[in-house]
């Protein structure tokens, strides 16, 4: 999206009703969009948002994990991690503009961005809720969450798989700014990015690179080990039973609404 000043701002909008849940195909599409942003030399900032009512993203589409083969899992998990890394390591500022639930992988993609803005609402929750549906949380993701919040907060929320409201997320540092409307949030995101675009690009991008190097070195060094360990966790009978139960619960809720 071209702006009135030098350079431009990019926006990636997720639009996969009903909840922007991720399959391998939709992850590929997101990865391609991020690659396109990377390739545009004039881009000075990125907004990641959604047009699906009530959802930034509901995370992985759970049935994808039912009886998944090791090969398919490795492709899916590695792709998600590569996209997280690409967003996190962008040389320009990024804002996740959240209006609705940001759960599981939705929260992960928001955490890849430099800033997280969120609209307040009782039915708008954010969090890494994997444990609540029986899925262990990988170490690198726990580290990223802990860096944004605190060790004590991470132990409390991650080990219980608790999703929280925007004000609570703002209080602990997971969300940077909260708003009462989507329009207000979008205007603030654009204002932040244009102000950052006015800062000398080289100096800013090199500083961001230096700030992120420690986490990225750790992330890259642990990439394959995490894949192997997380496959063991995901294929564990207890995990698969919990996923089956969660899918059945979601199906029952959907049927009850009809």
Mean pLDDT by groups of 10 residues along the chain of 258 residues: 65 94 95 94 94 96 91 96 97 97 97 98 94 92 97 97 97 98 97 93 96 98 95 93 90 77
pLDDT tens-digit series, residues 27-86: 999 999 999 999 988 899 999 999 999 999 999 999 999 889 999 999 999 999 999 999
- pLDDT of the residue at 1: 46
Helix (H, G, I), strand (E, B) or coil at 111: helix
Of 256, 258, 254, the residue nearest 19 (C-alpha)? 254
Q: Is 120 exposed, middle or buried (0-12, 13-18, 19+ CB in 10 A)?
A: middle
The neighbouring-strand residues paired with 94 are 46
Q: Are 60 and 234 in contact (CB under 8 A)?
A: no
């Amino acid at each position: 999206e071209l702006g009135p000043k030098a350079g431009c701002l990019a926006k990636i909008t997720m639009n996969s009703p009903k909840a922007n849940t991720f399959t391998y195909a939709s992850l590929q599409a997101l990865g391609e969009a991020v690659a396109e942003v990377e390739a545009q030399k004039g881009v000075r900032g990125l907004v990641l948002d959604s047009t699906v009512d009530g959802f930034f993203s509901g995370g992985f589409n759970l049935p994808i994990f039912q009886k998944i083969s090791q090969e398919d899992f490795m492709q899916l998990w590695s792709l998600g991690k590569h996209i997280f890394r690409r967003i996190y390591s962008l040389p320009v500022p990024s804002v996740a503009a959240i209006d609705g639930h940001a759960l599981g992988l939705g929260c992960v993609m928001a955490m890849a961005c430099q800033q997280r803005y969120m609209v307040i609402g009782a039915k708008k929750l954010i969090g890494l809720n994997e444990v609540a549906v029986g899925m262990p949380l990988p170490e690198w993701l726990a580290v990223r969450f802990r860096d944004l919040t605190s060790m004590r907060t991470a132990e409390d929320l991650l080990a219980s798989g608790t999703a929280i409201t925007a004000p609570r997320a703002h209080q602990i540092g997971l969300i940077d700014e909260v708003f009462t409307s989507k329009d207000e949030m979008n205007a603030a995101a654009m204002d932040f990015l244009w102000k950052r675009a006015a800062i000398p690009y080289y100096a800013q991008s090199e500083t961001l690179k230096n700030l992120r190097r420690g986490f990225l070195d750790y992330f890259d060094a642990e990439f394959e080990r995490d894949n192997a360990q997380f496959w063991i966790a995901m294929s564990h009978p207890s995990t698969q039973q919990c996923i089956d139960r969660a899918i059945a619960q979601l199906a029952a809720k959907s049927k009850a609404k009809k």
